[in-house]
Chains A and B, each alone.
Chain A
Amino acid sequence: MSESTSTLREPAPGPTGDGEPFLDVRDLRVHFPTDDGLVKSVDGLSFHVHRGKTLGIVGESGSGKSVTSMSVMGLHKQGTANISGQILVDGTDVVGSSPEIVRKMRGKRMAMIFQDPLSAMHPYYTVGNQIIEAYRIHNDVSKDRARQHAIEMLDRVGIPEPHQRVDSYPHQYSGGRRQRAMIAMALSCDPELLIADEPTTALDVTVQAQILDLIRDLQKEFHSAVIIITHDLGVVAELADDILVMYAGRSVEYGTADQIFNEPEHPYTWGLLGSMPRFDRVRSERLLPIPGSPPSLINVPKGCAFNPRCRFADLNGDLSTTERPELVDAGHNHLVACHLPPAKRRELWRDEIQPKL
């Protein structure tokens, strides 16, 4: 890489908020050595989230979204992953900290809502017990008081008859309620950073709407920083202030939600927008899919990882296949990693892409 990555306390580029960001991820790399080769799940990712703000991370499966969130939570098993870079949670670096310290941060500092509540909850313990356990680790209270708190939390997330439901097992809940119970558990210690990894993917639309409203309301109440990871652009459009688009372990575009939806500049983002059938517009004759499929993370294409699927790759001479584009500011803190000149990108979007969406 030609440019040295900015380190330490100089303000990171990208959409801004007031003051110090609560979560600041800098040049994160997560590599998994396997028998087939080194899997570069995340390869040089930087982003930040302020309190009270929501960051949406979008991308296809295998783009490194979930690996990123697991790294922030410090959930990668020691020895299986090579992690480098910095993950500063309110100033504490998760990457260099001992498991004991990270363990103390989980729950209170940061909490996570997993995609599949049935496998994320322990089937042997009642829902109440699982919430109580987390609460008592961070708060020195009696069991009765913690139980009272668990009931309050279940009530807060809209579970009917929380007094009885607190003693139910996860399998006795329906899918939507189980996801709410997960949220109650994640929020039981008022975390300052909440990571929601595909929180609604397994749910029906009506339940999804309830859960998204819930996350929004709770964020307002607790003023937390929220990261929402999803492949559904509709969900991020509803919730996110800023959006990070990931492809093959790297950020290809990073800007405010308005920038990403109204003036996207990366061909991959255009592809995502064109692939999506629109609920809110008159039906287009055909969808505009991205050709090909996402690359293997062992053998990431040379140059721009997106070049084999990009319609505009040959507009840059052979730059796209030889040199990896850096994430640079295209104006108004809108970061794009693409070799096309910004003026050309805007022209393509305006003349070719937008009219067809």
Chain B
Amino acid sequence: MTVTDPSGAARAEGAGTAERRELLKVTGLVKHFPIRKGLLQKQVAAVQAVDGLDFTVREGETLSLVGESGCGKSTTGRLITRLEEPTAGKIEFEDRDITHLKDGPMRPLRRDIQMIFQDPYSSLNPRHTVGKIVSAPFHLQDVKPEGGVKKAVQDLLELVGLNPEHYNRYPHEFSGGQRQRIGIARTLALKPRLIVADEPVSALDVSIQAQVVNLLEDLQDELNLTYVMIAHDLSVVRHVSDRVAVMYLGKIVEIADRDPLYERPMHPYTVALMSAVPIPDTKRRHERERIRLQGDVPSPINPPPACRFHTRCWKAQDICKTQEPPLVELAPRHQVACHFPENAPAGTSDTPSGDVPPADPGSR
């Protein structure tokens, strides 16, 4: 793995992702958490946290999963890392089916698939020193790094921008941003290929957030890492991602490369989500047309039939309540699950109402 890998150059141009190898492939992934009741613990219902996801992640790219809380993005991350057992579907890592691998065979794979957690305060054991925390993966996997564990840990600390002399300190002696770096050092210890980062910067202050975002990008270029980023901050997502999947109630409603998605979002939910982001520009304060979504996300225990977004969608018609829209490719590498997409390329749109912006999208 060299720094001058040609794929690194391809990334810089923003093209060429298409030729790269698929590292992770997810097909029809489902996770239902059973709700049990009564003496016999009979299953009475299920939380349909993730309900049929298909996506692929290519080597060296960043796929972001975005959506409101409860849309299943974190569960997806935990399924990919096999911290949860999928109910159905298939997860392939480097063409190998890992969906139902037992602990034993999964263990060597843990080196390749690692996770960065959201909260740097609860993801580090307060009773262990930084050295012990970062070296844990070596001990667990019985890896003997060249030059000894201590040297390897200090190299890692340096890599993430911490002072290697802080080897013997405890987590409480560090600030939030530094703790997140410790977590990242631990994640990188075994040279993983795929990193699932669950809200890696949302617990940090803006100025520190930028430091960590830059660090993650540098590491990606240097080590040719592949990220699956779970985030709700659409500005950060725009900055870090190559590809973005928008989730709503356990389903992907739109998946596309970053720029097409941000410039021409097609699914009404994506459009609403984008219009809700506050923009730090006082001049544009009054220009923006904001789409106000009504109410809350419905319960995943009993999601609306057919298109799950129809209860809050201003474009919803009868067909949306009876027929589920499939995730189809409306533009190159841009898939949308909607009967009446916005910004659709000419010819593919069969919208009866056309692209007329909603007169007053439910400001009640």
Give me the interface of A with B, judged by CB distance under 8 Å.
Answer: 60-61, 160, 174-177, 204-210, 212-213, 231-238, 257-258, 261-262, 271-280, 283-284, 286-291, 293-294
Q: Is A276's CB under 8 angstroms from B205's CB?
A: no
Q: Is A288's CB under 8 angstroms from B276's CB?
A: no
| B234 contact from A205, A273, A288, A290, Cβ within 8 A | A205
Q: Is A294's CB under 8 angstroms from B205's CB?
A: yes
CA distance A293 to B207 in the complex (A): 8
Q: Is A277's CB under 8 angstroms from B236's CB?
A: yes
What is the distance, in angstroms, from B179's C-beta to the closest C-beta of chain A?
A: 11
* B292 proximal to A (CB < 8 A): yes
| B205 contact from A61, A209, A258, Cβ within 8 A | A61
Q: Is B278's CB under 8 angstroms from A277's CB?
A: no
Q: Which residues of A contact B313 (CB under 8 A)?
A: none
CA distance A204 to B279 in the complex (A): 15
Q: A205-B277, A277-B238, A279-B235 are known contacts. Are A213 and B292 too (CB-CB below 8 A)?
A: yes
Q: A160-B295, A279-B234 are known contacts. Are A232 and B278 too (CB-CB below 8 A)?
A: yes
A-B contacts at CB below 8 angstroms, number: 128
8 nearest A-B pairs in the assembled complex, by CB-CB distance = A234-B278, A289-B210, A277-B239, A275-B210, A209-B276, A287-B210, A290-B207, A204-B68
| A257 contact from B210, B211, B275, B282, Cβ within 8 A | B282
Chain A binding surface SS class: helix
Q: Which residues of B contact A235 (CB under 8 A)?
A: 278
CA distance A283 to B238 in the complex (A): 7
Q: Which residues of A contact B234 (CB under 8 A)?
A: 205, 279
What is the distance, in angstroms, from B361's C-beta to the closest C-beta of chain A?
A: 12
CA distance A261 to B196 in the complex (A): 35
Q: Is A237's CB under 8 angstroms from B207's CB?
A: no
Q: Is B68's CB under 8 angstroms from A206's CB?
A: yes
Q: Is A234's CB under 8 angstroms from B207's CB?
A: no
* B206 proximal to A (CB < 8 A): yes
What is the distance, in angstroms, from B26's C-beta to the closest C-beta of chain A?
A: 24
Q: List 29 A-B contacts (CB under 8 A).
A: A61-B205, A174-B296, A204-B68, A204-B69, A204-B232, A205-B273, A206-B68, A208-B278, A213-B292, A231-B205, A234-B235, A234-B279, A237-B278, A237-B279, A237-B281, A237-B282, A258-B282, A258-B283, A262-B282, A271-B207, A274-B210, A275-B206, A275-B210, A278-B280, A279-B277, A286-B214, A289-B209, A289-B210, A289-B214
* B208 proximal to A (CB < 8 A): yes
Q: Is B214's CB under 8 angstroms from A276's CB?
A: no
What is the distance, in angstroms, from B121's C-beta to the closest C-beta of chain A?
A: 12
CA distance A288 to B239 in the complex (A): 12
CA distance A209 to B361 in the complex (A): 14
* B92 proximal to A (CB < 8 A): no
Question: For residues 261 through 279 of chain B, which have their beta carbon under 8 Å from a beta carbon of chain A?
Answer: 272-279
Q: Is A231's CB under 8 angstroms from B278's CB?
A: no
CA distance A177 to B295 in the complex (A): 9
What is the distance, in angstroms, from A111's C-beta to the closest C-beta of chain B?
A: 23
CB nearest neighbor in A for B240: A277
* B217 proximal to A (CB < 8 A): yes
Additional 8 contacts, C-beta under 8 A, given A205-B234, A277-B238, A286-B214: A60-B207, A205-B232, A207-B296, A231-B206, A277-B235, A278-B280, A279-B277, A287-B213
Question: For residues 102 through 140 of chain B, which have their beta carbon under 8 Å from a beta carbon of chain A?
Answer: none
Q: Is A293's CB under 8 angstroms from B177's CB?
A: yes
What is the distance, in angstroms, from A77's C-beta to the closest C-beta of chain B?
A: 25
CB nearest neighbor in B for A291: B211
What is the distance, in angstroms, from B142's C-beta to the closest C-beta of chain A?
A: 36
CB nearest neighbor in A for B284: A280
CA distance A284 to B214 in the complex (A): 12
| B285 contact from A176, A213, A237, A293, Cβ within 8 A | A237
CA distance A174 to B299 in the complex (A): 10
CA distance A160 to B211 in the complex (A): 42
CA distance A326 to B293 in the complex (A): 46
What is the distance, in angstroms, from A354's C-beta to the closest C-beta of chain B?
A: 13
CA distance A84 to B292 in the complex (A): 44
Most chain-A Cβ atoms within 10 A of its Cβ — which of B236, B238, B280, B285? Answer: B280
* B290 proximal to A (CB < 8 A): yes
CA distance A317 to B267 in the complex (A): 56
What is the distance, in angstroms, from B188's C-beta to the closest C-beta of chain A?
A: 20
What is the distance, in angstroms, from B79's C-beta to the closest C-beta of chain A?
A: 22
CA distance A238 to B287 in the complex (A): 11
What is the distance, in angstroms, from A281's C-beta to the closest C-beta of chain B?
A: 9
Q: Which residues of A contact B323 (CB under 8 A)?
A: none
* B7 proximal to A (CB < 8 A): no
| A276 contact from B175, B235, B295, Cβ within 8 A | B235
Q: A276-B206, A280-B284 are known contacts. Are A238 and B214 too (CB-CB below 8 A)?
A: no
* B220 proximal to A (CB < 8 A): no
* B178 proximal to A (CB < 8 A): yes
CA distance A237 to B286 in the complex (A): 11
Q: Which residues of B contact A276 (CB under 8 A)?
A: 206, 210, 235, 280
CA distance A48 to B227 in the complex (A): 46
CA distance A154 to B282 in the complex (A): 31
Q: Is B278's CB under 8 angstroms from A272's CB?
A: no
Q: Which residues of B contact A262 (CB under 8 A)?
A: 282-283
Q: A275-B210, A277-B235 are known contacts. Are A234 and B205 too (CB-CB below 8 A)?
A: no
Q: Is B278's CB under 8 angstroms from A238's CB?
A: yes
| B276 contact from A160, A208, A272, Cβ within 8 A | A208
Q: Which residues of A contact B205 (CB under 8 A)?
A: 60-61, 231, 294
CA distance A213 to B12 in the complex (A): 40
CA distance A175 to B296 in the complex (A): 9
Question: For residues 230 through 274 of chain B, which have their beta carbon under 8 Å from a beta carbon of chain A?
Answer: 232, 234-236, 238-239, 258, 272-274
| B273 contact from A60, A206, A293, Cβ within 8 A | A206
| B208 contact from A212, A238, A293, Cβ within 8 A | A293
What is the distance, in angstroms, from A256's C-beta to the closest C-beta of chain B?
A: 9
Q: A279-B277, A294-B205 are known contacts. Are A289 and B211 too (CB-CB below 8 A)?
A: yes
Q: Which residues of A contact B177 (CB under 8 A)?
A: 293
CA distance A191 to B282 in the complex (A): 27
- Beta-carbon contacts of B197-210 to A below 8 Å, as 1s and 0s? 00000000111111
What is the distance, in angstroms, from A292's C-beta to the closest C-beta of chain B?
A: 9
